[in-house]
């Protein structure tokens, strides 16, 4: 693996030129933006809109795969939604094709060439396919997945998997997928049930042999103990794991079933020792590390005043040399531009910075946090509970150090009580935690293994006592 280095000064200079460059191409992009949501029949309508050297993100070259890939990848799980759809969630809401086109045009112009989607992300594959197919196929790489955990409670069959893969190609308007993942696998038992016993893995290998899949890997949401048997099962080209500074030493297991110890560090080191490139998901923990409280943000500012909290989180991940792509699920142009700026003339953390981030992680974890990444896999709830919305309200109060303790009360109790209830009551009453009937339908769907009904009860009990 080799890094391309561009100085910060060159990057800033380049960005000025990039602004000028994009001004000159924007009328063409606007002209080609689809008002109907249909792909342009002629992809040559979109010219090569490359931003100048110095305003494109750094790349790393992976010799074994023969690929040069931008260090930042666009995660298409949280693409912008139409305003009436509640904004930013990719699991079921109608996505804003115009906004997605603009983001993908900007991303490609600035050197992002890795785009990650999945059948489980609602409209994402289709909308991403429309936006990407307006560009030359060689200017981007597509990652999609076999989301056969999303067939509900029925057994995942070979025929359903075949349909899912063919549908992915159709949605993405392509004959081949560059990176294909077995989606959200936690253990060898799960691999066996979803891929081995039913012939799905053999089918995937056939697609690889036929050139329809170029590189094969899996995404992982299990524990340290369940990881090696999966990694050692096949000669994977890459593996996707959850990695961020807060989860580096340990991921919170106390919210879920006894998964056992899990840490990004262990998973990363295991793959690195095996020579397998690491794809990173949740580098900002579903946005949580971008919205830390003022105390934590201040601690980070004291060391790197030029970086935002999200910038610190992304720099931590990008500083690890065996990270192939840092995937960030972006919901708007502002996030995309900020993330691009971090990886343009990328300045890695040194050893001391990396250690410092563990102090920040300890501070972060000293607040009570429900480790929800707002992925919405658990949605819709049959009883209308907005599961990520309730967790977001709870975590926001926790970040603001405003979780009131009705047992002890204490001097700031009333202030905290008001602040917490204000956040909670922003949710419409029908979707609040007390609507949960503990039916458990959401439980098997959560990749973070959160005991959702228990946490809903914890929140509604707290509100009742307040």
442 near ligand SF4, judged by CB under 6 A: yes
- Single residue of 93, 129, 287, 388 touching ligand SF4 by CB under 6 A: 388
**CB of 325 vs ligand SF4, minimal distance in Å:** 21
Whichever of 217 and 388 has its CB closer to ligand SF4, that residue is 388
**CB of 63 vs ligand SF4, minimal distance in Å:** 36
438 near ligand SF4, judged by CB under 6 A: yes
- Single residue of 161, 436, 459, 462 touching ligand SF4 by CB under 6 A: 436
Whichever of 37 and 380 has its CB closer to ligand SF4, that residue is 380
Whichever of 318 and 447 has its CB closer to ligand SF4, that residue is 447
16 near ligand SF4, judged by CB under 6 A: no
Number of residues located near ligand SF4, criterion CB under 6 A: 28
Q: Are strands 2-3 and 59-62 parallel, antiparallel or unpaired?
A: antiparallel
**CB of 431 vs ligand SF4, minimal distance in Å:** 10
Tokens linked to 225:
């103990």
- Single residue of 29, 76, 131, 446 touching ligand SF4 by CB under 6 A: 446
Whichever of 11 and 442 has its CB closer to ligand SF4, that residue is 442
In terms of Cα–Cα distance, which of 141, 156, 138 is closest to 194? 156
| Beta-carbon count within 10 A of 260 CB | 11
**Where does residue 86 fall: left (phi above 0), alpha (psi -120 to 50 degrees), or beta otherwise?**
left
Q: For residues 220 and 185, is the Cβ–Cβ distance under 8 A?
A: yes
Let me know how long the chain is.
466
Tokens linked to 11:
């990057």
Residues from 391 through 420 that contact ligand SF4 (CB under 6 A): 391
β-sheet with 59-62: strand ranges across: 2-3, 59-62, 67-70
Q: For residues 247 and 212, is the Cβ–Cβ distance under 8 A?
A: no
- Single residue of 425, 440, 444, 465 touching ligand SF4 by CB under 6 A: 440
- Single residue of 103, 181, 213, 385 touching ligand SF4 by CB under 6 A: 385
In DSSP notation, 5-65 reads: ---HHHHHHHHHHHHHHHHHHHHHHHHHS-SSSPPPS-GGGS---PPPTTSS--EEEETTT
453 near ligand SF4, judged by CB under 6 A: yes
450 near ligand SF4, judged by CB under 6 A: yes
Question: Based on C-alpha coordinates, what's the Rg of the chain?
Answer: 22
Report CA torsion sign: 364, 366, 369, 372: positive
Site string for ligand SF4, 342-381 (x = CB under 6 A): ------------------------------xxxxxxx--x
Whichever of 303 and 383 has its CB closer to ligand SF4, that residue is 383
Helix axes 97-109, 124-132, angle to 10 degrees: 50
**CB of 267 vs ligand SF4, minimal distance in Å:** 18
**CB of 375 vs ligand SF4, minimal distance in Å:** 4
Whichever of 121 and 391 has its CB closer to ligand SF4, that residue is 391
**CB of 457 vs ligand SF4, minimal distance in Å:** 9
In DSSP notation, 352-372 reads: HHHHHHHHHHHHHHHS-----
In DSSP notation, 195-255 reads: IITTSHHHHHHHHHHTTSEEEEEEEE-S-TTTHHHHHTTS--SEEEEE--TTTSS----TT
Residue 200 to residue 197: CA distance in whole angstroms: 8
Whichever of 158 and 439 has its CB closer to ligand SF4, that residue is 439
**CB of 222 vs ligand SF4, minimal distance in Å:** 15
Note if the bond before 254 is cis, omega within 30 degrees: no
430 near ligand SF4, judged by CB under 6 A: no
Binding residues (CB under 6 A) for ligand SF4: these are: 372-378, 381-383, 385, 387-388, 391, 436-442, 445-446, 448, 450, 452-453, 456
């Amino acid at each position: 693996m080799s890094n391309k280095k561009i100085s910060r000064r060159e990057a800033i200079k380049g960005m000025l030129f990039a602004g000028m460059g994009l001004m000159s191409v924007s009328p063409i992009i606007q002209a080609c933006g689809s008002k109907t949501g249909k792909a342009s029949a002629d992809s040559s309508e979109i010219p090569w809109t490359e931003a100048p050297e110095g305003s494109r993100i750094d790349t790393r070259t992976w010799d074994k795969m023969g690929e040069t890939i931008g260090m930042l990848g666009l995660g298409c799980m949280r693409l912008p939604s139409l305003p009436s759809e509640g904004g930013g969630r990719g699991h079921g809401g109608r996505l804003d094709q115009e906004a997605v086109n603009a983001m993908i045009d900007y991303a490609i112009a600035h050197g992002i060439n890795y785009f990650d989607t999945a059948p489980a992300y609602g409209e994402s594959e289709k909308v991403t396919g429309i936006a990407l197919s307006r560009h030359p196929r060689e200017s981007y790489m597509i990652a999609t997945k076999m989301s056969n955990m999303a067939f509900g409670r029925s057994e995942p069959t070979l025929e359903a998997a075949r349909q899912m893969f063919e549908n992915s190609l159709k949605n993405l308007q392509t004959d081949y997928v560059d990176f294909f993942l077995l989606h959200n696998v936690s253990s060898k038992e799960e691999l066996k049930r979803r891929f081995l016993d039913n012939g799905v893995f053999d089918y995937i290998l056939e697609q690889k042999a036929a050139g329809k899949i170029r590189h094969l890997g899996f995404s992982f949401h299990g524990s340290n103990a369940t990881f090696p048997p999966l990694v050692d099962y096949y000669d994977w080209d890459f593996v996707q794991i959850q990695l961020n500074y807060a989860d580096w030493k340990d991921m919170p297991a106390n919210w879920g079933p006894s998964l056992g110890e899990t840490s990004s560090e262990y998973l990363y080191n295991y793959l690195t020792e095996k020579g397998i490139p690491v794809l990173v998901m949740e580098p900002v923990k579903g946005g949580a590390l971008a919205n830390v409280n003022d105390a934590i943000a201040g601690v980070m500012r004291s060391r790197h005043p030029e970086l935002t909290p999200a910038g610190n989180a992304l720099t931590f991940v990008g500083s690890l040399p065996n990270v192939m792509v840092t995937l960030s699920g972006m919901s708007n142009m502002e996030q995309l531009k900020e993330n691009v700026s971090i990886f343009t003339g990328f300045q890695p953390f040194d050893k001391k910075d990396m250690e410092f981030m563990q102090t920040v992680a300890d501070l972060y974890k000293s607040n009570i946090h429900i480790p929800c990444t707002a992925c919405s896999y658990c949605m819709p709830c049959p009883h209308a509970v907005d599961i990520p919305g309730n967790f977001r309200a709870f975590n926001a109060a926790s970040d603001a150090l405003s979780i009131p303790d009705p047992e002890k009360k204490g001097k700031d109790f009333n202030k905290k009580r008001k602040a917490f209830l204000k956040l909670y009551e922003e949710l419409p009453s029908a979707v609040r935690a007390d609507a949960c009937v503990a039916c458990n339908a959401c439980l098997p769907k959560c990749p973070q293994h959160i005991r959702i009904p228990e946490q809903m009860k914890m929140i509604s009990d707290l509100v009742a006592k307040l």
